[in-house]
């Protein structure tokens, strides 16, 4: 691994230069550090015009052999994962690399027994327990494609995702814990499966021992199948471009799309970025607080750290249970050196006060990380001072589900930091800012739409079952560029600061949610005729959800209607998409051609009612007055 470790800013500059001038030589050298059954014929082959990209084409590999088997000679007894339960008095589970190997092989053999073959899709709907990681790796071991659905999504969302990729198996548990709440996950799966004909079996891990419905035709207990399997499973030889996983993510239109990642490039890029961004060293203890249901959990809980032979903490619970000191308590308990979390968690804990921080030493920490949304300066300083004790570099890592790995970030201890800046592109990443017409904005101290002009190994390959949608969404807005959907500043030193989405995608507590998705859920309510949803600045969540709803014929009290609408969104998407504010209106500000003027709705939601700009193109300016007067504060 150390063959691609960057140690100084000079080395970074050299690596960056080489990655731009000779990308194939650059990535080819890095890829030499992995186990391949067969090496590639060509490092990269690509076109952004008619989107198509291939990394390490002609090569074959298995990512789990790189994550597990190749470490066994030297690290069989080293710890891969320390699992910390939702309940602080419950014992930890400690999993060595050898145990991880055995569990993954058994799970892989269980999947084979259930008829899963290379290329089949397996849906994983599990809480944050080691079995979630075993399940992902078991799929990868046999060449099945995992599609993890965050266990906070509703039955409708789960069903949509299972159907979109025709999953053959669902892996779930009886229940899950989140703080003092216990949730019956199996019920959600049962409800989802009423509309999923493709699913042949449900593998159920017994976790909370909650009472569940058990359907003997379909359901199989994990403990009655997995432990009986052999602890050896030959890894399937995968082509570099074979699909590793699908992960659904929200966009500005329609239903969430299945982002597809491929085996070879994803492996090379997640390992390269994990090593260099975090500067992880042997003996360190790394903890990423994400859920495996999000891309951060895929790349920086499972694949990146394991590829580098790291020791990681996996945490089942929430930051505020039993109290708001839980994160800090876990850091002291396990002597965590690298801590990677989201700004929304930092802000929430900051708001609860330093009394929850001061009991803890936090002196094991070396590196702090941030991901998921822009980190505001205030939160950055609080994190730096009270958690890092002004001794730990903060890596503000910018990336996306579609990018597979971190694209813009400081290298811990190497890159000079600037609060709220993701700083510099990693080697191999060529950012470009463009104006709305697609003209390049050159020079420094500028702002524009963030695009990338050259592919990197873990770039999205397609959107599952709909390549056209992939081309449309990412490669058609600006000619010959990958468009991120983010706005971005570049300062006088060439440092990048991501300012947030420039499309109709919201970022609620680090969760990506499309306005269109929430609108369509609201519109499912019988009394609702139309709705428009916008994000607005929220102190803790980064953004909150503000919904304008037209329900002309309702006789219900508005307070009741609002409760019902919230319940509807909860049912159709899940609790993360619940509107914070709902305003019942008689009309929406529309242009003569019928387009909703979201700019006005955003301004009102922000409270900037005297600054609405030009409203002369509105069909009916009176609705603006009504909306302003009825604004929900």
Binding residues for ligand 7RM (CB under 6 A)? 249, 294-296, 370-374, 396-401, 422, 484-486, 498, 500-501, 507, 512
Residue for token digits 């994962």? 81
Cβ proximity to ligand 7RM, 26 vs 456, nearer residue: 456
Cβ proximity to ligand 7RM, 147 vs 240, nearer residue: 147
Cβ proximity to ligand 7RM, 111 vs 132, nearer residue: 132
Cβ proximity to ligand 7RM, 143 vs 374, nearer residue: 374
CB 535 within 8 A of CB 546: yes
Angle at 546 between CA 542 and CA 547, to 5 degrees: 155
| Residue 610 Cβ vs ligand 7RM, minimum distance, rounded to whole Å | 29
The pair of structure tokens assigned to 93 is 């589970």
Q: What are phi and psi of 218, to 5 degrees?
A: -110, -40
| Residue 501 Cβ vs ligand 7RM, minimum distance, rounded to whole Å | 5
**Strand 338-341 with 285-288, pairing:** parallel
How many other C-beta atoms lie within 10 A of the C-beta of residue 213?
A: 10
Helix (H, G, I), strand (E, B) or coil at 375: coil
| Residue 511 Cβ vs ligand 7RM, minimum distance, rounded to whole Å | 7
Q: What are phi and psi of 386, to 5 degrees?
A: -85, -25
- Alpha-carbon span 289 to 514, nearest angstrom: 24
Cβ proximity to ligand 7RM, 28 vs 500, nearer residue: 500
The pair of structure tokens assigned to 584 is 């019942």
Q: Cis peptide leading into 322, omega within 30 of 0?
A: yes
Q: Left (φ > 0), alpha (ψ -120 to 50) or beta: where does 480 sit?
A: left
Contacts of 555 (CB under 8 A, 6+ apart): none
What radius of gyration do the chain's Cα atoms show? Answer: 24
| Residue 566 Cβ vs ligand 7RM, minimum distance, rounded to whole Å | 23
Cβ proximity to ligand 7RM, 107 vs 397, nearer residue: 397
| Residue 126 Cβ vs ligand 7RM, minimum distance, rounded to whole Å | 19
| Residue 401 Cβ vs ligand 7RM, minimum distance, rounded to whole Å | 4
Can you say how many angstroms the Cα of residue 625 is from the centroid of all Cα atoms in its chain? 39
Cβ proximity to ligand 7RM, 23 vs 369, nearer residue: 369
Cβ proximity to ligand 7RM, 374 vs 455, nearer residue: 374
Cβ proximity to ligand 7RM, 265 vs 405, nearer residue: 405
The pair of structure tokens assigned to 410 is 């400081």
What length is written for the chain? 633
CA distances from 319 to 212, 251, 281, 355, 358 (A): 28, 28, 26, 15, 16
| Residue 38 Cβ vs ligand 7RM, minimum distance, rounded to whole Å | 32
| Residue 301 Cβ vs ligand 7RM, minimum distance, rounded to whole Å | 12
Q: Judging by beta carbons within 10 Å of its beta carbon (0-12, 13-18, 19+), is residue 596 exposed, middle or buried?
A: middle
| Residue 199 Cβ vs ligand 7RM, minimum distance, rounded to whole Å | 26
């Amino acid at each position: 691994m150390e063959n691609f470790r960057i140690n100084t800013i000079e080395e970074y500059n050299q690596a960056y230069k080489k990655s731009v001038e000779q990308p194939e030589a650059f990535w080819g050298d890095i890829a030499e550090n992995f186990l391949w059954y067969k090496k590639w014929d060509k490092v990269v082959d690509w076109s952004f015009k008619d989107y198509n990209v291939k990394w390490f084409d002609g090569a074959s590999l298995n990512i789990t052999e790189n994550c597990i088997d190749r470490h066994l000679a030297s690290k069989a007894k080293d710890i891969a994962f320390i699992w910390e339960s939702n309940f602080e008095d419950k014992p930890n589970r400690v999993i060595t690399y050898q145990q991880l190997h055995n569990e993954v092989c058994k799970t892989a053999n269980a999947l084979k027994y259930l008829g899963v073959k290379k290329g089949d899709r397996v849906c994983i709907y599990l809480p944050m327990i080691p079995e979630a990681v075993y399940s992902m790796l078991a799929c990868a071991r046999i060449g099945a494609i995992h599609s993890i659905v965050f266990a906070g999504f509703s039955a409708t969302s789960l069903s949509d995702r299972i159907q979109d990729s025709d999953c053959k198996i669902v892996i779930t548990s009886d229940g899950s814990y989140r703080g003092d709440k216990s949730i019956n996950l199996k019920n959600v799966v049962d409800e989802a499966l009423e509309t999923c004909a493709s699913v042949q079996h449900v593998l159920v891990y017994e976790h909370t021992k909650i009472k569940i419905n058990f359907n003997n035709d379909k359901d199989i207990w994990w403990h009655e199948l997995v432990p009986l399997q052999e602890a050896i499973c030959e890894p399937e030889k995968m082509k570099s471009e074979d699909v590793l996983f699908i992960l659904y993510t929200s966009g500005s239109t329609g239903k969430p799309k299945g982002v597809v990642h491929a085996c070879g490039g994803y492996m090379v890029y997640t390992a390269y970025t994990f090593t260099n961004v975090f500067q992880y060293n042997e003996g360190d203890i790394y903890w990423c607080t994400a859920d495996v249901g999000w891309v951060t959990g895929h790349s920086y809980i499972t694949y990146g750290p394991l590829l580098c032979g790291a020791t990681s903490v996996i945490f089942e619970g929430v930051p505020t249970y039993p109290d708001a000191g839980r994160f800090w308590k876990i850091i002291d308990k396990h002597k965590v050196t690298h801590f990677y979390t989201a700004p929304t968690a930092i802000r929430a804990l900051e708001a609860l006060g330093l009394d929850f921080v001061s009991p803890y030493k936090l002196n094991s920490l070396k590196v702090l990380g941030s991901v998921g949304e822009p980190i505001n300066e205030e939160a950055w300083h609080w994190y730096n001072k009270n958690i890092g004790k002004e001794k730990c570099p903060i890596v503000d890592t910018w990336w996306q589900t579609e990018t597979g790995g971190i694209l813009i970030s400081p290298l811990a201890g190497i890159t000079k930091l600037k609060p709220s800046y993701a700083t510099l592109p990693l080697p191999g990443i060529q950012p470009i800012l463009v104006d709305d017409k697609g003209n390049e904005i050159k020079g420094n101290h500028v702002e524009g739409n963030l695009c990338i002009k050259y592919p990197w190994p873990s770039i999205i390959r397609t959107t599952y079952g709909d390549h056209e949608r992939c081309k449309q969404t990412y490669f058609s807005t600006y000619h010959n560029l990958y468009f991120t959907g983010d706005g971005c500043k570049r300062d006088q030193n060439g440092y990048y600061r991501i300012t947030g989405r420039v499309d109709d995608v919201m970022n609620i507590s680090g969760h990506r949610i499309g306005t269109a998705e929430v609108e369509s859920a609201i519109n499912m309510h019988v009394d609702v005729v139309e709705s428009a949803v916008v994000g607005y600045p929220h102190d803790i969540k980064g953004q909150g959800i503000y919904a304008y709803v037209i329900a002309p014929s309702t006789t219900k009290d508005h307070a009741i209607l609002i409760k019902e609408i919230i319940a509807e969104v909860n049912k159709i998407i899940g609790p993360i998409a619940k509107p914070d504010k709902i305003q019942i209106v008689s009309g929406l500000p529309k242009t003569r051609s019928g387009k909703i003027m979201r700019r006005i709705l955003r301004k009102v939601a922000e409270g900037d009612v005297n600054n609405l700009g030009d409203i002369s193109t509105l069909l009916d300016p009176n609705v603006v007055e009504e909306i302003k007067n009825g604004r929900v504060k």
